[in-house]
Structure 1
Amino acid sequence: MSQSDQGRGQSPLPPAHVAIIMDGNNRWAKNKLLPSIAGHTAGAGAVRRTVEAAARAGVKVLTLFAFSSENWKRPKAEVDGLMRLFMRSLKKEVKRLNEYGIRLRVIGDTQGFSDSLQQEIRHAEQATVTNSGMVLAIAANYGGRWDIAEAAKSLAKQVAAGSLSADEIDETRLHQHTCLADLPPPDLMIRTSGEQRISNFLLWQAAYSEFVFLPVLWPDFDENHFTAALSEYYSRQRRYGGR
């Protein structure tokens, strides 16, 4: 919708897909002289608020960067705490997701997790699979480069098997093998904590995303911040490489 349409009083369409880099949990905890896991626990509350705000706003897909493939480098105690928090959240939030009609998907190399966590992921996905509302995609043990490499590997196997020729590989075919290939690319990407980088998140999918960087630390993120990001998005004129 153009700005002139908005000026005539028509409500702007919400972004179909919002992706968020949830940054600032550790700094939030450090500022309060608390252990890092306290920041991650508070961040889980921000996740709940944001999921509900996005659903109310009419967003079709919300993708949250929960745990990157680089996060394994963090101290073992913090990683272990994150895994326990992920497990608890999966068990606790399924009922709420069903109440909102939200379908859960977890993207990333889930085989890197414990068997019990993998089982809980499958259970949560299956418990929400018939929901027809917003899709909530949790990126866990995910990296944008990993995503592209896995797509390339899948295509290479087809070429080796003789079912695909190298000349048939193009952007469309590679896209079909990436995570979230069946969903629209993110219209809006939000990063909290004031950092202004993409951090290996949805590298392929974010080619034409609008970026909004907010100074708020993730545990303090609420519906007002989400609405502010949407307002900034509505003020942009998307050209997709055109004039």
Structure 2
Amino acid sequence: MAGKEQRVAAKEPEQGAPTHVAIIMDGNGRWAQKRGRPRLFGHRAGARRVREIVTACPDLGIRYLTIFAFSTENWRRTQVEVAGLMSLFRRYIQKEALALRAERVRVRFIGDRDRLDAKLVALMQSLETMTEANDRVHLTIALNYGGRDEVARATRRLAREVAAGRLSPEDVDAETLASFLDTCLLPDPDLVIRTSGEARISNFLLWQSAYAEYEFTPVLWPDFTADHFARIVGTYSTRDRRYGAVKI
């Protein structure tokens, strides 16, 4: 549950910049292979790109940015790539922690931490604590995250509350379930971007993105600049978001 903090209230946004943008950062491996380099070379380039996009958010009016770093399905990759990615995540946190705090970026992690190694989890918790007072940009990193896994974990927690008698089955609705999700303190994304030309959502924020706008760009993530980002965000204001209603 949300505890002392409260989830940002959902509302129909005014025409303008999205409050919350989520990004599926795809194409690192192909970017590296095009250059005759190993896939991890592309992942390192992709990690460097994150700083530019986070820094661009305030000028674009974006308060919340969620990035898909590692999915529950990515464990199927080779041991070499998975180990390299875990090492990269540790180095990223260690390298970027002070800069993120100085730039008033609040960092949260979502996903199942049970399968991650203890050192990485400790670094994640330390970064969350170090930046918890920041509010210029809210950066959420989805690490060992899957939308279906998140809903399953939330449902188990909700079921325990019902079994313990602290929650009545009749009181369970969409809002109740949402309060058990990893994203319980975040507004739903207004815009979801996927780089690399793939046109699928890959189990990312399935519940939260029910009414999000989607943008699929052919640009590979390591080539995705702040200018690309600004152009996509700029088109958002031209979209007519009706949430199932019809405007008369």
Instruction: Name the TM-score class by shorter chain.
Output: over 0.9
1:204 equivalenced with 2:172 (yes/no) = no
Instruction: Report the counterpart of residue 186 of structure 2 in structure 1.
Output: 183
Confirm or deny: 8 A CA contact 1:101 1:132 kept in the other structure.
yes
Instruction: Report the counterpart of residue 94 of structure 1 in structure 2.
Output: 97
1:142 equivalenced with 2:145 (yes/no) = yes
1:132 CA displacement: 2.0
Confirm or deny: 8 A CA contact 2:70 2:143 kept in the other structure.
yes
Confirm or deny: 8 A CA contact 2:17 2:236 kept in the other structure.
no
- Quote the RMSD (CA, aligned, Å): 1.1
1:125 to 125, 128, 134: 128
Structure that is richer in helix per residue: 1
1:29 equivalenced with 2:32 (yes/no) = yes
Give distance in 1, aligned partners of 2:58 and 2:202. Answer: 26
Give distance in 1, aligned partners of 2:142 and 2:59. Answer: 22
Confirm or deny: 8 A CA contact 1:50 1:222 kept in the other structure.
yes
SS of the residue corresponding to residue 31 of structure 2 reads helix
Q: Deviations over 1:32-83 (max 9, x none)?
A: 1100100000001111111111133221110000000000000000001101
Instruction: Report the counterpart of residue 236 of structure 1 in structure 2.
Output: 239
Give distance in 2, aligned partners of 1:159 and 1:125. Answer: 30
Corresponding residue pairs, total:
233
1:170 CA displacement: 0.6
Instruction: Report the counterpart of residue 76 of structure 2 in structure 1.
Output: 73
SS of the residue corresponding to residue 112 of structure 1 reads coil
Give distance in 1, aligned partners of 2:91 and 2:146. Answer: 23
Give distance in 2, aligned partners of 1:229 and 1:110. Answer: 32
Query: Which amino acid is the alignment partner of residue 101 of structure 1?
Result: R
1:103 CA displacement: 0.3
SS of the residue corresponding to residue 242 of structure 1 reads coil
Q: Deviations over 1:138-170 (max 9, x none)?
A: 000000001111111111101111122212111
1:234 CA displacement: 1.4
Report the identity percentage: 48
Instruction: Report the counterpart of residue 218 of structure 1 in structure 2.
Output: 221
SS of the residue corresponding to residue 214 of structure 2 reads strand
Confirm or deny: 8 A CA contact 1:212 1:232 kept in the other structure.
no
Q: Deviations over 1:178-220 (max 9, x none)?
A: 1111211000000000111110000000000000010000000
Instruction: Report the counterpart of residue 3 of structure 2 in structure 1.
Output: none
Moved over 4 A (4+): none
2:197 to 187, 194, 197: 194
